[in-house]
Amino acid sequence: MTEQPSRRLLLVHAHPDDESINNGATMARYATQGAQVTLVTCTLGERGEVIPPRLRHLTGAALGAHRLTELRSALGELGVTDVRLLGGAGRYGDSGMMGLPDNDAPDCFWQADLDEAAGRLAEVVTEVRPQVLVTYDDNGGYGHPDHIQAHRVAMRAVELAADAGWSVPKVYWNRIPRSVAEAAFARLRTELPGLPFARSGSVDDLPGVVDDDRITTAVDGTAHAAAKAAAMRAHATQIEVAEPWFALSNEQAQPLFTTEHYELVRGPRPDTRETDLFAGLAPEEAS
């Protein structure tokens, strides 16, 4: 059996593009350093709104298939080779935005049986044996049903994997410190006239913004800014990039962060802010 890398990071995301927006710099940094970086994506994002007019004919399964190619291209930019589709490609459908009839589709992720979906993820956890798992908070960052479900599935999978023999030492939720978000939007307002975006978003539009004292970890990925931007560009149906800014289908500009922030929710909370997701692991945990 091939020996596993000493550091192993597992990220759980709802749709293709979430990984690059939230964690692209982190993934590139650890992949470059030789860590095993595994991404689990729960849906293909079949209900995403397509930005380029030339691609707007893509809907449903065709859009999902296209977004899978975008995902693979994005991971190539980040240097990540291990991507899993939860239950296999198309097993769980995109649930659409909260409150829409799409949420009631029997095959959508929002309607998935929690223990069944978490059991599938737990199999990945026990295979990869990550020391670090990253996902969303209990609101999915911004209330999207697939993000909320990804949180639930990830946290339940950690429990099931522990029962099966692998206890994940550290679990993090994606975060953005409020002070960082506010400063970035202040800069954006001054630069907006020269950007290809009609208007600016706001701090309230960003997922996972919390008061600064909630932040336990800041991963400096500025050396991998170009890789993150390239990965986001690969998701061309969903993202328009004008570094260091980008916009989604709402055409509202927002910051492209290359230092990515986290809140440690499983594992001893550090006394000072960490700069490494693997900080503080005992030797026996890094094996």
Summarize the annotated binding site as residue ranges.
Answer: 15, 18, 147
**Helix 145-164 vs helix 114-128: crossing angle, to nearest 10:** 60
Q: Which two tokens stand for residue 181?
A: 């978000």
Q: Residue 179: exposed, middle, or buried by beta-carbon count in 10 A (0-12, 13-18, 19+)?
A: exposed
Question: Are 80 and 127 contacting, i.e. CB atoms less than 8 angstroms apart?
Answer: no
Among candidates 40, 24, 39, which has minimal Cα distance to 78? 24
Q: Which residues are part of a known binding site for Zn(2+)?
A: 15, 18, 147
CA distance 188 to 250: 16
CA distance 186 to 113: 43
Q: Which two tokens stand for residue 26?
A: 């982190």
DSSP character string of 117-142: HHHHHHHHHHHH--SEEEE--TTTTT
